[in-house]
Homo-oligomer: A and B are copies of this chain.
């Protein structure tokens, strides 16, 4: 998709859904460590991670948060949305190589163009790994903007 288009407050309805899927790669873990500063070896060092209760490398919990926020900003409601709050419960680890699905569902329309969105993440086995709710201010004006071309990022 070369355009980012939003859904306005008048357009959204309770029960509206959107979802994105993502396979967690080593590149994700390296970039998230770089941008967050969370260099915990459970995410970066396979030998160390094998000694933890997780028995292997896991994604940063807040990486799921980053994907949730991207789904809200780009898909539902999309551009022009103002993020007011997010609650998240990290239910299960997300492992390197997992294919996770971020599912959004409008669960409440509030006054002042606000809405509450269920933000759920599942792994490839259908097990829920993150539960949560976002509160946002939904755009009142239709926005359609060109998806920016990202600056190239290289690793190694």
> Which residues of A are interface residues toward B (Cβ below 8 A)?
4, 20, 22, 28, 30-42, 44-45, 48, 52, 60-63, 65-70, 73-74, 79-80, 83-90, 145-148, 150-156
Contacts and interface: CB of A to CB of B under 8 A. Distances in A.
Contacts of A88: 85-87
B70 A36 contact: yes
A10 to B, nearest CB: 19
A20 B48 contact: no
Contacts of A42: 79
Number of copies: 2
B4 A40 contact: yes
Contacts of A52: 80
A147 to B, nearest CB: 6
A150 B87 contact: no
Contact of A36 (B40, B69, B156): B69
A41 to B, nearest CB: 5
Given A37-B74, A86-B90, A152-B156, 10 more contacts: A4-B41, A31-B35, A37-B70, A61-B83, A62-B65, A65-B69, A65-B86, A84-B90, A153-B154, A154-B155
